[in-house]
């Protein structure tokens, strides 16, 4: 393959003979991004069961809770003691060990939260 003198780019692969990559210093336009959020912000607290990425162990995930991280920690501590299991704060979600959905829904509704069971 012949190179042009003074040219720093070389053709890697082409079906039409056009330029394979933009010249140095020229950037491609990024495709427009759509905003996708993990949890909808509709005022509902969602309670779901999950096994994904946990070695086959079941956990109850609680998402959409309002409040500061300190308030979420307090709620997590209370839920763990009421359910008699362990748990963890994962970002803005609470993870309670085992399938505790019914008990968690009952406790959150007593606190005045609007709760939905999510997932299967």
Q: Could you tell me which CATH number the domain at 45-117 has?
A: 3.30.780.10
pLDDT digits (tens, 9 = 90+) for 47-98: 999 888 888 899 999 999 988 999 999 999 999 999 999 999 988 899 999 9
DSSP 57-75: --EEEEE---S-HHHHHHH
SS3 call for 77: helix
The answer to whether 60 and 21 are in contact (CB under 8 A) is no
Residue-wise pLDDT tens digits, 29-49: 777 766 555 556 678 899 999
Domain boundaries, the chain: 45-117
């Amino acid at each position: 393959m012949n190179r042009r003198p003074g040219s720093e780019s070389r053709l890697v692969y082409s079906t039409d003979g056009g330029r394979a990559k933009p010249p140095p210093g020229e950037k491609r336009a990024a495709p427009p991004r759509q905003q996708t959020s993990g949890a909808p912000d509709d005022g509902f607290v969602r309670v779901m069961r999950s096994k994904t990425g946990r070695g086959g162990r079941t956990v109850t995930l609680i998402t959409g809770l309002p409040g500061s991280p300190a308030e979420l920690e307090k709620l997590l501590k209370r839920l763990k003691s009421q359910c008699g299991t362990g748990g963890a704060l994962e970002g803005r979600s609470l993870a309670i060990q085992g399938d505790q959905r019914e008990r968690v829904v009952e406790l959150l509704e007593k606190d005045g939260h609007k709760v939905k069971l999510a997932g299967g």
